[in-house]
A and B are shown apart, each in its own frame.
Chain A
Amino acid sequence: MTSIRALAGACVAAFASLCAFVAPAEAQSYPTRSITMIVPFAAGGPTDVVARIVTAHMAQTLGQSIIIENVVGAGGTTATTRAARAANDGYTLITGHMGTHAASVPLYPKLAYHPEKDFEPIALLAGTPILILARKDFPPKDLKEFVTYVKANAEKVNAAHAGVGSVSHVSCELLHSILDVKPVGVPFNGTGPAMNALVAGQVDYMCDQIVNAVPQINAGTIKAYAIATAERNPSLPNVPTTAEAGLPAFQAQAWNAMFAPKGTSPAIVASLNAAAVKALDDENVRKRLLELGSVIPGPAERTPEALAALVKAEIAKWSPVLKPAS
């Protein structure tokens, strides 16, 4: 096995030296060729869909195609590492999310990149609200009862999540730290199996992104206690916010944002930001994002500076929650 590591090392070194030679400055008439957008998750996942919707419009604005490259592995950190090490010429970008660019910092102590130090923020694309969901015959009727029930039965209840580092995992850790309980977390291999277990009643509750949950809630196979955003969501008008239901401290969103490797020229960042902002104002893009239950960032939240601040705030928010867990 060690020989493989040697070869891997040699490979990386060879590529790195090759890359170092090829770094011409071509900010003049950016972009002159197609742009690669790395998506750190599988095609068809929430992050991928958001990236595809937005980049399709951005490609029209920029006049060059944007090729999506799905690189999966290690909770998205494999792809993010690759993006951090890519040439900072504006032709390799990444659509990261709350996991890759915030929660990963406390979760993976040996992380090969730092979201703040290795990336130039471009723009926040969308936020996906998180819901507190439970199996349909879980005794508590609303969020207040849920809180008392979980506190009283912390030894008995089971929380499902879609694997370490997933949105459902980290958001549930936040919920548990607010409630100051440590129920058993049952890991599943992705959102699908976790949802299956919740529908089948094998686990009691989970926190998950809105996209997959809406049809199940509407069909009555699971129930939702609250949505962890400031406002109710149009796709689930009957589900109260956590503030309305009595747990204002629990606020969480799985946001998606676009980043470039550190050192990308400000002019390129500005033109990418402008293209992204234009996409977010497009009627069709908005309609499709809203169909997914996404929250579209307002004008003030779309600047690179706002994104930098968000990343900083999110790292600060998740660090104390996730440190003891890992």
Chain B
Amino acid sequence: MELFANLAHGFVVAFSPINLLMCLIGALVGTLVGVLPGIGTIATVAMLLPITFGLPPVGALIMLAGIYYGAQYGGSTTSILVNIPGEATSVVTAIDGHQMAKQGRAGPALAIAAIGSFFAGCVATVLIAVLGAPLTKLALAFGPAEYFSLMVLGLIFAVVLAKGSVLKAIAMIVLGLLMSMVGSDIETGASRMAFNIPELADGLGFATVAMGVFGFAEIIRNLDAGAEMNRDLVQQKITGLMPTRKDLIDSTPPILRGTVLGSILGILPGGGAVIASFAAYTLEKKLAKDPKRFGRGAIEGVAAPESANNAAAQTSFIPLLTLGIPPNAVMALMVGAMTIHGIVPGPQVMQKQPDLVWGMIASMWIGNLMLIIINLPLVGIWVRLLRVPYRLMFPSIVIFCAIGIYSVNNAPVDVILAGVFGLVGYWLIKHDFEPAPLLLGMVLGPLMEENLRRALLISRGDWSVFLTRPLSAVLLAIAAFLLVLTVLPVLRAKRDEVFTESEN
């Protein structure tokens, strides 16, 4: 089998001491980047790119890839511990993960996240090796119309994952969409709602808004008078570090389903990985016997999205490795790293650079192994961190977040904006609006608008393309089905309420 020969070759490359070291460095830096709030993968890879100038290309790319998927492991840590998602893909993890932490179950949550990520990473790596080339077709089958429909579906997921009022969740999504439109318009370059502030010319950054509505808002709320009681309670409640047998049994099916969903959606360039985590969460919530547990510390709500985002992080390499086209900003930087080394990736990169491609694939497996070895013992340290008195913890988080946000663009205005969003987030909490749908709307908004406009440009204004293209029609049908499924019970409940009231 050619495949095994290739893989064997890949492992020979990946097991060379220098590449093992690069893989370890990548995994460590990735974990660090994921754990530190605000520091994004893109910023770090961009900063480390010049260092790779002096390294052999294979080692350089193994390291950069390690940072990329390592950050997916680490991203869940702050989501669970302090309710600050470091990456767009770990926004969903924060919902149930942080609730688990509040119930004293941070250890099992972190461990399940690591185990799920490891399993998903391994499966997805095999998938790249075996089915990489045929799966490429999926990336090419997705035109603007399909992307638009996928984004609509993604936004419906955001409605489903809300635990409170559906109306409020939809309003938050729309607010997120509006916020995503700040900045330059992609088609005309016109500045929209930026009020001539240069820092807003490229729109609001994800890190800025996420740190604000999650991080700072959470801190401010915890400082409210009367909140000390709950915090102390959390610290006393911490139970076991590792998941129980029941936790493992409960998490197995979600990990499997999350891996499948993540692997498929990860191939799609753009928002694939983000949608994957939301889709996995939604699926679990819909399949669960008691959906009410979700949002209140369900371990499935951590296992599924974490597996999905890690699987997606691996399979998102497929378009890069088979087509030579970077599917997201981090991959674009990796293409830059290759270009600096004189390798311009293209469709033939697999044939022309077998060392690079198979070495990278093999290294991903090794990297995942390293990551779980790094992460499982860390769980104990993270949980111990929760015992630090909050009076010392919160100023530290403020500083970490501030430095993190500043480092993204070296822009002080971003830090101020995040502060403003902190106040906005505080207000949202007080009025029982959930921030997760808002963030998803913000992340998916540009993709949705751009693809809608692209699709309409190509179809010359004919809206029927969304229904006549089969893939797009299927996606919209699923979206409509999900929406009905979510809204119907709410309407019925409302009606019952009205009836009971009138009877009284």
| Residues of A that sit less than 8 Å from B by CB | 1-2, 4-5, 7-8, 11, 42-46, 48-49, 52, 56, 68, 70-75, 78, 81, 107-108, 112, 158, 163-165, 184, 186-190, 192-193, 195-197, 199-200, 202-203, 211-212, 214-216, 218-219, 221, 288, 291-292, 326
Contact = CB atoms under 8 A, between A and B. Distances in A.
Contacts of A219: 346-348
Contacts of A292: 339, 344
B467 interface: no
Interface string B166-189: 000000000000000000111111
B413 A7 contact: yes
A42 B325 contact: no
B458 A186 contact: yes
A193 B331 CA distance: 12
A215 B345 contact: yes
B165 to A, nearest CB: 27
Given A44-B49, A187-B187, A221 B340 contact: no
A203 B457 CA distance: 11
A68 B413 CA distance: 22
A269 to B, nearest CB: 26
A42 B332 contact: yes
Nearest to A210: B344
B327 interface: yes
Given A196-B139, A211-B344, A5 B339 contact: no
A192 B327 CA distance: 7
Contacts of A163: 186, 189
B420 interface: yes
B416 interface: yes
Contacts, number: 158
B189 A214 contact: no
A73 to B, nearest CB: 5
From A44, A75, A108, name the one whose CB has the most chain B CB atoms within 10 angstroms: A44
A71 B46 CA distance: 11
Contacts of A71: 410
Interface of B: 46, 49-50, 53, 139-144, 184-189, 195-199, 201-202, 269-270, 319, 323-327, 329, 331-337, 339-340, 342, 344-349, 409-410, 412-413, 416-417, 420, 446, 450, 453-454, 457-458, 460
Given A78-B201, A215-B348, A4 B333 contact: no
Nearest 6 A-B pairs (CB), nearest first? A44-B336, A215-B346, A164-B189, A219-B347, A200-B140, A43-B49
Nearest to B352: A215
A49 B195 contact: no
A31 to B, nearest CB: 19
A8 to B, nearest CB: 5
Nearest to A158: B458
Contact of A164 (B187, B199, B453): B187
Contact of A5 (B195, B335, B336, B450): B195
Contacts of A4: 197, 413, 416-417, 420
